[in-house]
């Protein structure tokens, strides 16, 4: 509770006021001040003490002051709250203030209801718990804004040309892919195939490449073959003789045997060369065995084998091989753009050279065998090596050809896919793969990782925001209906002619706000609207707006669980209020004063403050006033009881005192008091028949007229007594006797009429 205001220096009208230290506050404290004397300054000081905001004090710095404002307030008897150098040493959050600032902050500015009013009203409705929940929610909302700004910065740091058609978020979210390079190559080939489908469908696959091997086994059996029917001696004799003949001796002899056989067929036995008889020749029979049918067959076999070898390895065969290899290389060059085709590495010159060497060595052996069919030909090791090298080449080509068959299976699939390919889809897939490649580039990956980390942090904040929003919404679902009911309850108590529609929370860009409509004669009136339409500003009077603000204020306190600790400050609540709402307001303030730790009421209206004072008969009270000082204003005690005594009370007391003490100095005052006392009595006792502005004489005549009727005002005896009293009192009243001030007074007469007047106005 505020115990005292010990010092107010250089604030508003207060230059250096320290008298407040001897003016203690109480549970209910009223402060009277004429307009412009400093009442609102005191309310602003207390509002600043509640929030800790220096503005309400600094903006009221005394004009021309050489020092900054300085305020000392005893809040609870402990360390005082000191405002100095633009800041409070401590605050008192339990202080709540109703003043023009409350209206301007929570209800309207002038006649306009702005979004800020509805936001502040939201905080007023949800209370401290809701404000904390709303602050927690707004903190998460603000964090998300920070995340968004950071995401924009981090996104802008990622080069746009690296993202392609992807936005930053989609680009950074791309997952890493194993074997990415291979997949990109495959995608490029598939896309290339789809774009060149016409040529792909027509292009042949890889050809089969092969070389004939050289099997030395069968050849060797021919090279060592001879005639088995010749005995060894005859064979040596024939071969020796032929050998002696020199080069082509065997051929010469062989041709001669053919001629001899032809001569023999004609019955002639001479030698075809010398015409001598052959009958006695011993070698001729060996020649016939040597060059017989078996010999012919042997030569034919040798020739056939030699020819077959030449057909397989000579002529167009090497050319065809090279042509096939060339085709394979050309097709490989075509297909390489559409499939994973290994480079064809065939050294045709080396293969051809080794093949030629092996072929010619074998053919040389055949030539030797042909020239000497019965001669055993042994194949040299270098020929065997040449043949082995050639056969190795054949094996390599066979393996390569087998690989080609497998590749052709894949190429046929490429052909099939090319026929039905969706080019846009393939382009999109390739773009995605290239984006993945760019995303995980060493220069880009840290930037994307930073973006994703910030995105994850934002997601976590969004979870926290949702939780905070859920908690806030749960609190609002309870607080808002209760608050709406309370507002209308207070409006009814304040005798207001309007109500409010449902009070609902709404979420706006700047946070949370409260929304409501006015109900006037059951018609909804919005808070704002276009000019020319009914709205808050043109349907509520100044008094109505102040009444609505009071309802907001009282409703917020009614549902504040900590209201027992609150110090309520109310500054001029009757501003713009109609007179008929005064009693209702006093009654509600009386109820509130019993529920809070303390109440301070400031006003320029003595009658209102006196009403506050009279209502609090059971509570500790204190009264202060702000009055003019030599310079500015000062605080002083206020004699409330003295101001509560009315002129009627003074007249009554004077008459009673005169009857008791018969003071001659008071005679004229007592005589002049009798008629006003009778008027006051008639005004209270007969308000319907003696309205303001009526005269007692006319009232007496009305009483006489109604005697004996159902509308009788007073009995005939009372009317006669009133007439007698008036006749005496009129002698001392300025309206009925211009010489009233010099009218002679008799003590005995005055005593009689004074006693009779008191008896008349005391009667039931």
Q: Place 292 in a pLDDT band, splitting at 50, 70 and 90.
A: low
Looking at residue 287, its pLDDT comes to 66
Instruction: List the single range of 160-174, 227-241, 264-278, 579-593 with lowest mean pLDDT.
Output: 227-241
Q: What is the mean pLDDT of residues 605-618?
A: 77
Q: What is the mean pLDDT of residues 25-31?
A: 91
For 6-16, the pLDDT digits (tens) are 999 999 999 88
Task: Look up residue 71 and give its two tokens.
Answer: 């305020």
Q: Are 47 and 568 in contact (CB under 8 A)?
A: no
Q: Name which residue leads in pLDDT, 645 or 150.
A: 150
Looking at residue 577, its pLDDT comes to 53
Looking at residue 582, its pLDDT comes to 73
Q: Place 750 in a pLDDT band, splitting at 50, 70 and 90.
A: very high
CA nearest neighbour of 556 among 124, 98, 102, 107: 124
Helix, strand, coil tally for the chain in percent (to 5): 60, 10, 30
pLDDT averaged over the chain? 84
Instruction: Return the H-helix or E-strand segment holding 18.
Output: none
308-313 contact pairs (CB < 8 A, 24+):
309/214, 309/219, 309/359, 309/362, 309/363, 309/366, 310/363, 312/212, 313/212, 313/214, 313/355, 313/359, 313/362
Q: What is the mean pLDDT of residues 565-573?
A: 90
Looking at residue 756, its pLDDT comes to 94
How far CA 148 is from CA of 143, 169, 454, 669, in Å, comes to 9, 12, 9, 85
β-sheet with 598-603: strand ranges across: 95-98, 567-571, 598-603, 28-33, 621-628, 633-637
Candidate ranges 281-290, 337-346, 548-557; pick with highest mean pLDDT: 548-557
How far CA 244 is from CA of 240, 286, 295, in Å, comes to 6, 16, 20
Indicate the SS3 state at residue 576: coil
Instruction: List the single range of 17-31, 240-254, 662-676, 688-702 with lowest mean pLDDT.
Output: 240-254
Question: Looking at the predicted structure, is the pLDDT value of residue 400 above 80?
Answer: yes
- Percentage of the chain exceeding pLDDT 70: 90
For 483-537, the pLDDT digits (tens) are 888 888 888 888 888 888 888 888 776 667 778 888 888 888 787 777 767 777 7
Q: What is the mean pLDDT of residues 33-56?
A: 91
Q: Are 493 and 477 in contact (CB under 8 A)?
A: no
Question: Looking at the predicted structure, is the pLDDT value of residue 707 above 90?
Answer: yes
Q: Name which residue leads in pLDDT, 449 or 241.
A: 449
Instruction: List the single range of 313-327, 500-514, 704-718, 746-760 with lowest mean pLDDT.
Output: 500-514
What is the Cα–Cα distance from 196 to 179, expressed in whole angstroms?
A: 26
Q: Place 28 in a pLDDT band, splitting at 50, 70 and 90.
A: very high
CA nearest neighbour of 672 among 736, 752, 761, 724: 736
CA nearest neighbour of 611 among 563, 643, 578: 643
């Amino acid at each position: 509770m505020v115990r005292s205001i010990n010092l107010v220096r250089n604030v508003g009208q207060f230059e250096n006021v320290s008298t407040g230290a001897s003016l203690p506050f109480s549970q209910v404290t009223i402060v009277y001040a004429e307009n412009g004397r400093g009442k609102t300054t005191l309310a602003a000081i207390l509002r600043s003490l509640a929030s800790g905001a220096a503005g309400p004090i600094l903006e009221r710095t005394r004009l021309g002051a050489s020092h900054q404002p300085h305020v000392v307030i005893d809040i609870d008897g402990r360390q005082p709250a000191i405002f100095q150098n633009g800041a409070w040493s401590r605050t008192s959050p339990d202080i709540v203030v109703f003043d023009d600032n409350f209206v301007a902050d929570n209800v309207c500015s002038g006649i306009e209801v702005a979004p800020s009013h509805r936001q502040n009203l939201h905080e007023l409705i949800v209370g401290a718990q809701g404000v904390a929940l709303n602050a927690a929610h707004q903190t998460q909302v603000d964090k998300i804004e920070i995340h968004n700004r950071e995401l924009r910065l981090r996104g802008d740091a990622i080069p746009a040309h690296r993202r392609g058609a992807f936005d930053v978020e989609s680009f950074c979210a791309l997952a890493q892919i194993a074997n990415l390079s291979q997949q990109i190559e495959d995608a490029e080939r598939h896309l290339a195939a789809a774009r060149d489908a016409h040529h792909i469908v027509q292009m042949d696959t890889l050809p089969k490449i092969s070389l004939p091997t050289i099997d030395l086994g069968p050849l060797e059996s021919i090279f060592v073959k001879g005639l088995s029917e010749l005995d060894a001696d005859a064979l040596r004799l024939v071969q020796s003789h032929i050998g002696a003949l020199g080069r082509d001796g065997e051929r010469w002899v062989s041709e001669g045997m053919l001629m001899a056989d032809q001569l023999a067929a004609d019955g002639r036995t001479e030698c075809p060369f010398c015409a001598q008889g052959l009958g006695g020749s011993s070698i001729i029979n060996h020649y016939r065995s040597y060059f017989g049918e078996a010999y012919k067959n042997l030569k034919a076999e040798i020739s056939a084998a030699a020819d077959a070898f030449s057909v397989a390895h000579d002529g167009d065969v090497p050319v065809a091989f090279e042509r096939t290899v060339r085709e394979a290389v050309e097709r490989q060059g075509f297909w390489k753009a559409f499939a994973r085709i290994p480079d064809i590495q065939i050294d045709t010159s080396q293969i051809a050279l080794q093949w030629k060497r092996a072929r010619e060595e074998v053919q040389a052996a055949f030539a030797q065998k042909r020239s000497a069919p019965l001669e055993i030909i042994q194949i040299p090791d270098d020929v065997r090596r040449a043949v082995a090298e050639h056969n190795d080449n054949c094996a390599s080509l066979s393996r390569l050809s087998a690989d080609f068959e497998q590749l052709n299976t894949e190429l046929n699939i490429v052909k099939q896919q090319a026929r039905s390919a969706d080019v846009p889809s393939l382009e999109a897939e390739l773009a995605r793969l290239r984006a993945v490649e760019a995303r995980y580039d060493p220069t880009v990956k840290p930037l994307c990782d930073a973006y994703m980390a910030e995105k994850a942090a934002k997601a976590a904040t969004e979870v926290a925001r949702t939780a905070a929003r859920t908690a806030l919404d749960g609190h609002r679902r309870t607080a808002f209906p209760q608050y709406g009911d309370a507002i209308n309850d207070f409006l009814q108590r304040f005798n207001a002619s309007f109500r409010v529609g449902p009070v609902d929370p709404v979420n706006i860009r700047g946070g949370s706000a409260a929304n409501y409509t006015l109900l006037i004669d059951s018609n909804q009136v919005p808070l704002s609207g276009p000019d020319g339409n009914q709205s808050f500003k043109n349907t509520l009077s100044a008094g109505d707006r102040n009444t609505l603000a009071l309802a907001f204020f009282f409703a917020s306190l009614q549902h504040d669980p900590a209201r027992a600790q609150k110090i309520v400050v109310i500054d001029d609540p009757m501003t713009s209020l109609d007179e008929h709402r005064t009693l209702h307001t006093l009654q509600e303030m009386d109820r509130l004063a019993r529920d809070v730790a303390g109440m301070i009421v400031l006003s320029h209206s003595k009658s209102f403050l006196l009403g506050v004072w009279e209502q609090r008969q059971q509570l500790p009270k204190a009264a202060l006033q702000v009055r003019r000082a030599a310079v500015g204003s000062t605080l002083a005690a206020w004699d409330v009881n003295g101001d509560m005594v009315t002129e009627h009370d003074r007249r009554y007391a004077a008459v009673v005192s005169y009857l008791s003490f018969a003071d001659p100095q008071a005679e004229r005052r007592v005589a002049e008091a009798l008629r006003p006392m009778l008027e006051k009595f008639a005004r209270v006792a007969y308000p319907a028949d003696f309205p303001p502005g009526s005269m007692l004489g006319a009232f007496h005549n009305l009483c006489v007229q109604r005697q004996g009727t159902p509308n009788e005002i007073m009995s005939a005896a009372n009317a006669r007594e009133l007439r007698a009293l008036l006749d005496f009192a009129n002698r001392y009243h300025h309206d009925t006797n211009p010489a009233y001030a010099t009218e002679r007074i008799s003590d005995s007469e005055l005593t009689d009429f004074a006693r009779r007047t008191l008896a008349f106005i005391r009667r039931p």
